[in-house]
Amino acid sequence: MGSNSWPKSIQKAKILLVEGQDEVYLFTALLGNLGLANDIQIIEVKGISNLADSLKNVQLISGYSTFVTSIGIVRDADRDPLGAFHSVCSALHNAKLPEPTAPLQPASGRPQVTILIAPDSTTPGMIENVCLNSVTDDPAMPCVEQFFSCLQENHQSLNEKDIPKAKVRAFLASREWLEIDHFEYLQRCMESYELTFPASPSTIVPKIHTFLASRWTPDLDLGIAGKEGYWDFNHHAFDTIKQFLHLL
């Protein structure tokens, strides 16, 4: 789990198909938080365009017919939540697997199949929106919003579909800045502590990452943030995802 390679065997009764490596890290952290890590095996399909083939291929993996009783599928809503759901159903139909009638409504059979559309079944967006919603009360978020307002005012707007990913990156730059500041504070408190990097130039890194958040295709650091505990899994923003995972 978490590897870029296709799994050689199925070892758990429940499998969770996610789009990419960042989602693997995020759901690994969330499953650990819920105490479900030993129950669900995560499989990366390497992009939603590969879902149809992945649903066919997963049935050929050693252990599938022996172990698997439930399949969960996570897909971003993007601009069309209903269209995203129907797209997953089409892939399930082609793979001869049960098709749910709605998100979060398991289709009975062997295996049972449940679909999660993120952030939810009616709202355009993606899993990044859920993560950002979980930190709306964080002191850094007004700064993140001001940053993107400033970009828009200066005609540096991003493609609409990239904004949640860019905001995630900007928020994570604030975490990096806080960690560096904390580290430097400890250095000042411990005179015997040997400096491992210069204090002032170190702030350049989060500035660079914040700047990169304004580019057209910002890197997606969502999953690593999940591993580091930056997202508040106890926030109600994750309630739908938790419900989905408990349904598997």
| Residue boundaries of the structural domains of the chain | 14-126+239-247, 135-230
**C-alpha 153: how far from chain center:** 29
pLDDT at 156: 65
The neighbouring-strand residues paired with 15 are: 41, 71
Q: Round to whole Å and give the CA distance between 247 and 105.
A: 9
Who contacts 138 (Cβ-Cβ below 8 Å, separation ≥6)?
171
Q: How many CB atoms lie within 10 A of CB 158?
A: 20
pLDDT at 169: 76
Tokens 């960042």 sit on residue: 22
DSSP class of 59: G
pLDDT at 186: 41
pLDDT at 3: 42
Kindly report the CATH number that applies to the domain delimited by 14-126+239-247: 3.40.50
pLDDT beneath 50, residues of the chain = 1-4, 178-208, 211-212, 215-218, 220
The predicted model scores a pTM of 0.79
Q: What is the dihedral of CA 207, 164, 36, 54, to 10 degrees?
A: -110
Q: Round to whole Å and give the CA distance between 180 and 174.
A: 10
106 within 8 A of 69, measured Cβ to Cβ = no
